[in-house]
Amino acid sequence: MNKYLSLSPEVEQALKEGKPVVALESTIISHGMPYPQNVETALKVEQTIRDNGAVPATIAIIGGKLKAGCTPEEIEYLGKKGQAITKASRRDMPVLIARGQDGATTVTTTMIIAAMAGIKIFATGGIGGVHRGAETTMDISADLEELAQTPVMVICAGAKSILDLGLTLEYLETKGVPVIGYGTEELPAFYTRHSGFKVDYRLDTPEELAAAFQAKIDMGLKGGMLVTNPIPEQYSMPADVINKAIDQAIEESKRQGIHGKETTPFLLAKVKELTGGDSLASNIQLVLNNARLAAKTAAALAK
């Protein structure tokens, strides 16, 4: 076991006994939503995973320890400190650990820690990707590189619609990452079910997802698998409303000179403001929806 890794007793026991476990990220707690909705949502997501037959493992870096399985007190701590906690990607891990500091894990770092712990399924909101204008800025999320090399299935509501979705799919194709649509042939775009872009394959049951991922593992193919699960119809936002808000938010971020890892939290907060909070409600529902599917897929994989 990695000397920096700390499993909660519940997660450790579940992994020992071959029970289904689902990893959850902590950036969504510290940087994705305001307090106290962030803590309420995190605990509700954990409960949703339990209700669907799996053990939740919220992942974070606390006091220089890689935590797989956080206590409710630790989740409260992450939620209250919020953006004062470093948003930790792969490049940040060595320094945060050496200094004994805290880090909220992104998709990238959650995948790394999940893989270290032996957790194969991870539920999140949306992945990062190729940012609009990346042909000049080279602003491409580390999430895509991680999907190319780390053997974890990531279940999300597609790529965040603040991104260039076409280029994100091209990048994933180059890296050999299978992009699966759950019950859909179209890439969902986070707040909305439709993007106009096609996924590689459509699969319709958790058992099919588990079988495809098991085949990947059995063949020794490196890298993960991306499952895109559309937001439930009743919470999906009209594409024109969300796209207008995103365009405004991007203009504002350019005016303020925001770039790098500050971009996504800024854009999401701005979109929430411009949509009168509707985007936050949608965000919570899509995460719960992904948690349900992840728990069922983990249960199918454990069989």
Report residue 59 as tokens. Answer: 């992942």
- Asked if 110 and 150 touch (Cβ cutoff 8 Å), the reply is no
Indicate the Cα dihedral angle 145, 141, 57, 179, nearest 10°.
-60
Residues 6+ apart with CB under 8 A from 53: 20, 295, 296, 299
State the Cα–Cα distance between residues 15 and 67, nearest whole angstrom.
Answer: 15
**Selected catalytic residue, list 12, 25, 74, 146:** 25
Query: Which residue shows structure tokens 């009743």?
Result: 234
Query: Which residue shows structure tokens 């707040």?
Result: 191
Query: Which residue shows structure tokens 């949703």?
Result: 48
State the Cα–Cα distance between residues 7 and 12, nearest whole angstrom.
Answer: 6
State the Cα–Cα distance between residues 146 and 150, nearest whole angstrom.
Answer: 6
Give all strands (DSSP E) within 27-97, no chain letters: 55-62, 65-68, 86-88
Helix, strand, coil tally for the chain in percent (to 5):
50, 20, 30
**Selected catalytic residue, list 67, 120, 160, 296:** 160
Hey, is 225 helix, strand or coil? Answer: strand
Active site residue 25: yes
Active site residue 160: yes
Which DSSP category does 212 fall into? H
State the Cα–Cα distance between residues 27 and 280, nearest whole angstrom.
Answer: 15
Residues labelled catalytic: 25, 160
